[in-house]
Amino acid sequence: MHNYKNAIAELLKKHIDAMTYEEILELVEHPKNTSMGDFAFPCFKLSKAFRKAPNMIAESLKEEIVIPEFIDQIEAVSGFLNFKVNSTHFAKVVIEEVMSKKDKYGSSDVGEGKKTIIEYSSVNIAKPFHMGHIRSTMIGESLHRIYKFLGYETVAINHLGDYGTQFGKLIVAYKLWGDKEVIEKDPIPELLKIYVKFHQEAENNPSLEDEARSWFTKLENNDPEAVELWTLFKEMSLKVFNRVYEKLGVTFDSYAGESFYSDKMPMILKELRDKNIVVKSEGAEIVDLEKYGIPPALITKKDGSSLYLTRDLAAAKYRKDFYDFDKNIYVVGSAQKLHFQQWIKIIELMGYEWHKDCIHVDFGMVALEAGSLSTRKGNVVFLEDVLDKAVEQTLEIINEKNPDLTNKEEVAKDIGIGAVVFQELYTTRNKDYTFSLEKTLSFEGETGPYVQYTHARACSVLRKVSFDPQSNIDYSLLTDEVSKDVVRLLAKFNEIVVLAHKNYEPHTVARYAVELAQNFNHFYHDNAILVDDEALKNARLALVYSTKVVLENALKLVCLKAPEQM
């Protein structure tokens, strides 16, 4: 493809010695008001080097630049140099690349030769897979897809919460009140029930907490009974979790959880001690980080048992040694910010340069309209229940509006589950948000069903007529404003994907998908497509086809299916 942004940067570089090509390219942008042009270059940073006001610099550059054939006009406006691309050239280049690359359109080799680990979901064994887990799960899966799309070798890791004192609590609860036959029928709710009962009983009987700590120490020391019960809890939990992951279309390359690193912690502890990084404090071991503005980090408890932080140190070291990553991403809630600051700082103190490649991608909380979620008190909404409810309500809508739809149960799954996922990814990740099923399932507004319906609409048009992407197309027939708006958005797709990966923000792609759907619907309403004029019909079908391709690609990156009929 003729990369206009790069070409404009090269054009400018011939007249700007004060900046590198890369610095100029970084500044080339899309004007918010498309009437100002397709690309713009702000001249403000050149004031010092040119010793002129930005508006004078823009005027001077305008006079100096020899306008190439792909540019119709260059204008200097308020310190900006605006470029209007030749509409026919633009439409031809963009649409032909979409039709040529199809499901690869928007991808690139920016990540070629680089390995990225993405840790996400990381649910706790024997606890509910609740609505609070959707953020890590779907942000992580979307980033996984985006990074792969950009050529990175990716490793998706589900760092299961399968270790820690809570398993001592669960073992005690199981031995006191558990019924294996009852639990096997419905594992998570039953395990949750006895886990909650443990906390209720421990309020009146604190000795239960000591017993729980004792059982966890036994588990760390490979006591046969402790390991047998822990394995039972894990196997029953994974059976339920994998059912939810299958519904969400989420996959992992590794389920290595906290327990996987239990035999790797002694080496980490030895290294911390040998390098004099840890100090004794009231019988425990800590790393004093106060001079870095970070509270002390607890490494081992008084009884010598490990902590989550110790296991994260071991996990990071193992991943570097085993995978030799270029980037190690952790999709974990904002509540864990301090935890990540601590262990990443400790990795730095251990002398490992790759500490800077460990990235905490944090996010805000999700609540339901009924209130916030809490596992410990038993007030929890299971994610699977929300997904099933969304599918059920979607099927009701389909039965009402399109009862003869083929495969309507499958379509209801694609739309219902996609709607839940899309609302999650449409929200900027660092913001808290309240989940609303009613808003989520709307076929209007900024929702997943709206984008999916637009894709299905494009498919419907294409089913009515034979369209050959290889045919001769007169792109000069796509120079009306609504057609140009769609073309501009199609052209931006790769930029959007690269930006999403750079900022770890899937919502960039989700919002792009909505904007493309909105612009396509304007085009659809303003322009008759199946007209008698063959040349005009073919040109507009090319735009319909290209929009369908890019909407499907965008939906896939934010973990949604793209039904062809709705």
Rounded Cα–Cα distance for residues 166 and 208 (Å) = 12
Note the pLDDT of residue 307. 82
Structure confidence at residue 221 (pLDDT) = 87
Distance CA 11, CA 285 (A): 60
Which residue(s) pair with 298 in the sheet? 286
Pick from 368, 402, 429: which residue ends a domain? 368
**Domain extent for 70:** 4-85
Assign residue 553 the CATH number of its domain.
Answer: 1.10.730.10
The three-state secondary structure class of 280 is strand
pLDDT digits (tens, 9 = 90+) for 14-52: 999 999 999 999 999 999 888 888 999 999 999 988 999
The verdict on 143 and 238 lying in the same domain is yes
Parallel/antiparallel/unpaired status of strands 71-77 and 115-119 = unpaired
User: What are the structure tokens assigned to 129, written together?
Assistant: 């897979």
Find residue 379's DSSP bridge partners. 374
Q: Residue 414's pLDDT is what?
A: 97
Cα 12 from Cα 4, distance rounded (Å) = 12
Percent of the chain's residues with pLDDT above 90: 81
Same domain, yes or no: 148 and 227? yes
Question: Are 130 and 208 in a shared domain?
Answer: yes
Which of 217-221, 251-255, 343-347, 493-497 has the least mean pLDDT?
Answer: 217-221
Whether the Cβ atoms of residue 44 and residue 57 lie closer than 8 Å to each other: no
Which residues are marked as active site? 127, 130, 133
Query: Considering the domain boundaries, does residue 90 fall inside one?
Result: no
**Do 200 and 225 have their domain in common?**
yes
> Tokens representing 521?
């619907």
Overall number of domains in the chain: 3
Res 121: pLDDT = 97
% the chain with pLDDT above 70: 98
At residue 376 the predicted structure's pLDDT band, cuts being 50, 70 and 90, is very low
Q: Are residues 392 and 364 in the same domain?
A: no
Residues facing residue 85 across a β-bridge = 71
Domain boundary among 368, 391, 418: 368
Q: What is the pLDDT of residue 379?
A: 62
d(CA 348, CA 357): 11
Determine the pLDDT at residue 43.
95
| pLDDT tens readout for residues 399-425 | 999 999 999 999 999 999 999 999 999
Q: What is the DSSP letter of 371?
A: B
In angstroms, what CA-CA distances link 304 with 147, 154, 300, 443, 477? 40, 36, 5, 56, 75
d(CA 511, CA 524): 20
Give residue-wise pLDDT tens across range 165-205: 889 999 999 999 999 889 988 898 899 899 999 999 999 99
pLDDT tier at 372 (50, 70, 90 boundaries)?
Answer: very low
Looking at the fold, whether 341 and 416 belong to one and the same domain comes out as: no
**Residue 367, both tokens:** 């609540």
C-alpha dist (Å) from residue 432 to 92, 162, 427, 454, 525: 42, 27, 9, 28, 36
Residues 396 and 460 in one domain: yes
Using alpha carbons only, what angle is made at residue 252 by residues 340 and 219, rounded to the nearest 5 degrees? 65
Angle at which helix 408-426 crosses helix 224-248, to 10 degrees, equals 100
- Are residues 355 and 406 part of one domain? no
Residue 108 counted as domain residue: no
Residue 382's identity, in one-letter code, is F
Q: Do residues 95 and 542 make contact, with C-beta atoms less than 8 angstroms apart? A: yes
370: confidence class by pLDDT, cuts 50, 70, 90 = low
Q: Is the pLDDT assigned to residue 371 strictly greater than 80?
A: no
Please provide the average confidence, as pLDDT, over all residues in the chain. Answer: 93
Q: Are residues 363 and 401 in the same domain?
A: no
Structural domain includes residue 98: no
- In a domain? residue 309: yes
Predicted pLDDT of residue 375 = 44
Whether 374 is covered by a domain: the verdict is no
pTM of the model: 0.91
Report pLDDT for 374. 47
Residue given tokens 């080097």 in the structure block: 49
Report, in angstroms and rounded to the nearest whole number, the Rg of the chain calculated over CA atoms.
28
What counts of helices (H) and strands (E) characterise the chain? 21, 12
How confident is the model at residue 525, as a pLDDT? 96
Which of 343, 368, 393 is at the close of a domain? 368
3-state secondary structure 493-508: HHHHHHHHHHHCCCHH
Q: Tell me whether residue 104 is in a domain.
A: no
Is 113 a member of any domain?
A: no
Model confidence pLDDT, tens digit, residues 258-316: 899 988 999 999 999 999 999 999 889 999 999 999 999 999 888 777 788 999 999 99
My answer on whether 198 and 270 are in the same domain is yes
Q: Is 462 exposed, middle or buried (0-12, 13-18, 19+ CB in 10 A)?
A: middle
Query: Are 386 and 314 in contact, with CB atoms under 8 Å apart?
Result: no
Same-domain status, 393 and 360? no
pLDDT at 145 (0 to 100)? 98
Can you give the pLDDT at residue 373? 45
Examine the pLDDT at 378 and tell me if it is beyond 70: no
Query: Which CATH number covers residue 53?
Result: 3.30.1360.70
Residue 482 in any domain: the answer is yes
Q: What is the pLDDT of residue 128?
A: 86
3-state secondary structure 9-65: HHHHHCCCCCCCHHHHHHHCECCCCHHHCCEEEECHHHHHHHCCCHHHHHHHHHHHC
- The residues, any chain, with a CB within 8 Å of residue 254's CB and separated by 6 or more, are 155, 156, 157, 158
Pick from 247, 219, 346, 361: which is nearest to 288 by CA?
A: 346
d(CA 377, CA 203): 13
> Mind listing the pLDDT tens digit for each residue in 94-141?
999 999 999 999 999 999 999 999 999 999 998 889 888 999 999 999
Co-location of 226 and 251 in the same domain: yes
Residue with tokens 């009974």: 225
- The three state secondary structure string of 382-420 is EHHHHHHHHHHHHHHHHHHHCCCCCCHHHHHHHHHHHHH
* CATH classification of the domain holding 288: 3.40.50.620
